[in-house]
Amino acid sequence: MNGFRPHEEILKHFNTLDISELSELVTEYNSEPNSAGLEQFFVGLLKLEGDMKCRAIDALLSFASNQQGDETFELITWLAERYPGDIGLFAPLILHVLTLEPGQAMYLDACTPHAYCKGTGLEIMANSDNVLRAGLTPKHIDVAELAACTVFEPKRREDLLSTPHRENGAEHFLVPVKDFKFSVYVNQHQRELSVETPEILFALDEPVHLMHENGEVAVLERGHSMFIPAFAKRYSVSCQGKFARAYC
């Protein structure tokens, strides 16, 4: 899950659900279908407590059980088995639900709610000084702080996936921040790479053979990573499969 759906999509979901415990929140959002309305709705939902919260979740799961074949509601049912009674079960109706295929990438912007649901992915992160929870967790949720740090702007689904620039056997994924760059290299033979900043290599499916200009060699087995310091300057790399590179 990544980024808020358009207002009309969110409202369509909740208008269709027609859960009495949420009627006041939904009515207010219907009257103000903008970022301010979304914030008020999101915060109000997270603040539900007690019997009202339980009844709202029960109504959601009852509706979801009759929506076989629908990706969003099947995800809600799957999540309910792992996070019973969690208000975050409403998240798939508010956030985009995407399935990344092998080789695809997606950028997760700051101040944007997101969640990894299942599967295995490679995540590259910039330095961060906080993690704010919004649901699907037994830990405390600071709703006020979460709202203060969230940008309540919908994102277009088609803008979420990253399309790589392909060049000489490499896929360079656009990262719209200066913190890092990310590339995947395919079937390389003695490819020479220049090092300007510290970087990390990760062997995705086949061993990666590295040689430094001073004669030092190393083999990076599948599933292993290697830190390369900036003073390495340059090295050559060979791999019959794919390896990922995080650098600046």
Question: What digits encode the pLDDT tens for the residues 236-245?
Answer: 999 999 999 9
Q: What is the mean pLDDT of the chain?
A: 95
Query: What is the per-residue pLDDT across 150-188, written as a single tens digit (0 to 9) for each?
Result: 999 999 998 899 989 999 899 999 899 899 999 999 999
Token pair for 142? 């600071």
> With contact defined as beta carbons under 8 Å apart, do 187 and 169 qualify?
yes
* Residue 229 predicted with pLDDT over 90: yes
The pLDDT-based confidence of 57 (bands split at 50, 70, 90) is: very high
Q: Is 242 exposed, middle or buried (0-12, 13-18, 19+ CB in 10 A)?
A: buried
> Above 80 in pLDDT, residue 198?
yes
Three-class secondary structure assignment of 4-34: ECCHHHHHHHHHHHCCHHHHHHHHHHHHCCC
What is the spatial distance between Cα 218 and Cα 209, in angstroms, rounded to a whole number? Answer: 6
Q: What is the mean pLDDT of residues 203-215?
A: 95
Active-site residues, by number, are 133
Pairing between strand 2-4 and 181-194? unpaired
Residue 247 has pLDDT above 90, yes or no: yes
* pLDDT at res. 127: 82
- Residue 1's pLDDT is 96
Predicted TM-score (pTM) of the model is 0.90
Q: Given this model, what pLDDT does residue 2 score?
A: 96
Dump pLDDT digits (tens) for 101-158: 999 999 999 899 999 999 999 999 888 767 889 999 999 999 999 999 999 999 999 8
Domains of the chain: 2-161 (1.10.441.10), 165-247 (2.60.120.10)
